[in-house]
Amino acid sequence: MSKNIYIYGASGHGLVVADIARTCGYDDVIFVDDGDNEYPSFEDIKRTSGIPVAFGIGSNSIRAKLFERVQNSGFEIVSLIHPSAIISSSVTIGKGTVVMPNVVVNAKAIIGDGVILNSSCVVEHECIIDDFVHISPKVALAGDVKVGKFTHIGIGSNVIQGIIIGKNVIVGGGSMVIRNIDDNQKVVGVPARLISSTSKMGGVNSSFYFPTSRKAS
């Protein structure tokens, strides 16, 4: 019997999520996208709630909105973990999270719902990553770091131990975070410094819209 999954979001990010789904044993990966007539919309699949859903949406705010929609419609929301990821047995991972190739998550870390742990990032012991966070490729979080909802930590950034990063923060790529960061801040640099404030929800691409920018094939 074939094992099917819906990937909500036919974007470039969705392509990567689909690859992970296949490595996790799903035979038939079905893209769902509300902004492209090439794929079924969520309205088209609402009566087929026996098939689980994962998310191929890079924007934290849009992913949160779609997560709520899918959950309220009675679908099973699943997390996908690439087989090459190293995850401690004491780690807790929520629903709708994607863990990409070569990620490391160490002892007693807590990962929320709808999180993206992107390729080759490291989440050290006892970190807490709240819901709808994106940890970009090659990011390294030292032990006991806390990251608030809707925060995006840019590619190749490093965060020293014990740091608290608030909600809806954007950390620019290649930054070194050595001080706590309040909610709704945009920081960048070595060491990371404040450059502006973000909107109060969702940071990058904060508007709630559903089309995705690139087609999956």
Query: Distance of alpha carbon 101 from its chain centroid, rounded?
Result: 14
Residue in 13, 125, 134, 152 annotated catalytic: 125
Domain co-membership, 146 together with 61: no
Rounded Cα distance between 165 and 5, Å, is: 34
Domain range for 131: 80-195
Q: Give the type of residue at 174.
A: G
125 noted as active-site residue:
yes
Whether residue 130 is contained in a domain is answered as yes
CB atoms within 10 A of CB 48: 12
Whether residue 205 is contained in a domain is answered as no
Whether residue 204 is contained in a domain is answered as no
Q: How high is the pLDDT of residue 202?
A: 46
Whether residue 168 is contained in a domain is answered as yes
Domain co-membership, 51 together with 101: no
Domain co-membership, 153 together with 118: yes
Domain co-membership, 59 together with 114: no
Whether residue 202 is contained in a domain is answered as no
Domain co-membership, 90 together with 58: no
Domain co-membership, 98 together with 68: no
pLDDT tens, residue order, the chain (217 aa): 679 999 999 989 999 999 999 999 999 999 999 987 789 999 999 887 689 999 999 999 999 999 999 999 999 999 999 999 999 999 999 999 999 999 999 999 999 999 999 999 999 999 999 999 999 999 999 999 999 999 999 999 999 999 999 999 999 999 999 999 999 999 999 999 999 887 654 444 332 222 333 334 3
Whether residue 123 is contained in a domain is answered as yes
Of the candidates 119, 124, 116, the residue with the CA atom closest to the CA atom of residue 101: 119
Q: How high is the pLDDT of residue 4?
A: 95
Question: What residues form DSSP beta bridges with 146?
Answer: 128, 164
Q: How high is the pLDDT of residue 69?
A: 96
Sign of the four-CA dihedral 55, 60, 63, 67:
positive
Domain co-membership, 60 together with 163: no
- Global pTM value: 0.89
Domain co-membership, 97 together with 134: yes
- Concatenated DSSP letters for 97-123? -EE-TT-EE-TT-EE-TT-EE-TT-EE
CATH code for the domain of 45? 3.40.50.20
Domain co-membership, 92 together with 46: no
Q: How high is the pLDDT of residue 2?
A: 78
What dihedral do alpha carbons 95, 100, 103, 105 form, nearest 10°?
0
Domain co-membership, 25 together with 46: yes
Domain co-membership, 51 together with 10: yes
Query: Distance of alpha carbon 44 from its chain centroid, rounded?
Result: 25
Domain co-membership, 92 together with 160: yes
Q: Please give the tally of structural domains in the chain.
A: 2
Whether residue 106 is contained in a domain is answered as yes
Whether residue 207 is contained in a domain is answered as no
